[in-house]
Structure 1
Amino acid sequence: MRLLSTTPIGRIVFTDRALPAVQPVNFCLHHGDIVIRTNAGSKLAAATRHAVVAFEADDFDLRTRTGWSVTAVGRARAASDPDEITRLAALPLTPWAPGQRDHYIIVTAEQLSGRRLHR
């Protein structure tokens, strides 16, 4: 989780029409959960409601051939409590994509794995 906190971009893996889908997202950690901000009408929002998802983030240095990758697997849920949404809106999580992004997806990691690459 410490490594995840060092990068703002990751990839969420979810199911879209019975097939695996991967989408890059910006995110932040909040009390050990992965928080993603998106549009309420997006495929990502619909596909991750109470679903098991994977989340991956990494950081690599091509010159030195070093880096790390972390994968989290857990259940995703949509924030629905107004107080929770207010707290999440105060996080340093500014969407990169244009448009209204007032829907929060919270992924609670149940499994974590990762690896480091060293020379």
Structure 2
Amino acid sequence: MNGSPKDRKLDFDECWDLLASSVVGRLALIVDGHPEIFPVNFVLERRSIVFRTAPGTKLWESRKEEPAAFEIDGYEPATQEAWSVVARGATALIENADEQSAADALGLEPWEPGTKTHYVRLSPNALTGRRFRANAPDVWNTRLNDQRRASFE
């Protein structure tokens, strides 16, 4: 963080609350020596992030139980604040049927078509976040799809 007065570090509980309010995030894994980002829908279960996947790169790399990161972010037009939360930890497959059922009971339903029979858990060992006041959009020059426009439309 740059330490500006507009920047505020989020505490642990605020980070979990924002994670709990979200349904889609980005999983970062190291693939062939470089970072790859995968969008996933998820649930929080036992203070961890759980998602389902089909066979493929996400599954193969998640099996390695190596460091991974998970990120969500958002913007609140009413307060004109943006926020970001990053969880870092290791991934592991969930093979226990009771643990899989617990995640499904929380509404873990894949968005993408196809069979997603593999469950992955990211257990954070670091959870950080920040909230900051976004610059006011320029009425004439800000792109139409910029979320900040909602504050004056």
Q: State the Cα distance separating 1:64 from its structure 2 match.
A: 5.8
Q: Secondary structure at the match of 1:3?
A: helix
Q: CA deviation at 1:60?
A: 1.4
Residue 89 (structure 1) shift: 2.8
Counterpart in 1 of 2:51?
A: 36
Q: Deviations over 1:8-37 (max 9, x none)?
A: 010000011111000111111011100011
How far apart in 2 are the matches of 1:59 and 1:12? 16
Structure-2 separation of matches of 1:65 and 1:19: 35
Question: Highest Rg: 1 or 2?
Answer: 2
Equivalent residue of 1:12, what SS? strand
TM-score (norm 1): 0.90
Matching residue of 1:8: 23
TM-score after normalising by structure 2:
0.71
1:62 CA displacement: 6.2
Confirm or deny: 8 A CA contact 1:56 1:69 kept in the other structure: yes
1:44-75: CA deviation from partner (whole Å, max 9, x where unpaired): 01101212100001111468641210000001
CA contact (8 A) 2:43 2:103 kept: no
Tell me the residue number matched to 2:36: 21
Aligned length: 118
Partner of 1:80: 95
Contact 1:60–1:66 (CA under 8 A) maintained in structure 2: yes
What's 2:73 paired with?
Answer: 58
Unaligned runs of 5+ in 1: none
Runs of 4+ in 1 over 6 A off after TM superposition: none
Structure with greater helix percent: 2
Does the alignment pair 1:47 with 2:64? no
1:9–1:24 Cα contact (<8 Å) kept: yes
Runs of at least 5 residues in structure 2 that lack an aligned partner in the other structure: 1-15, 135-153
CA distance in 1: counterparts of 2:56 and 2:132, whole angstroms: 35
- Determine the C-alpha separation between the residues in 1 that align with 2:69 and 2:33: 15
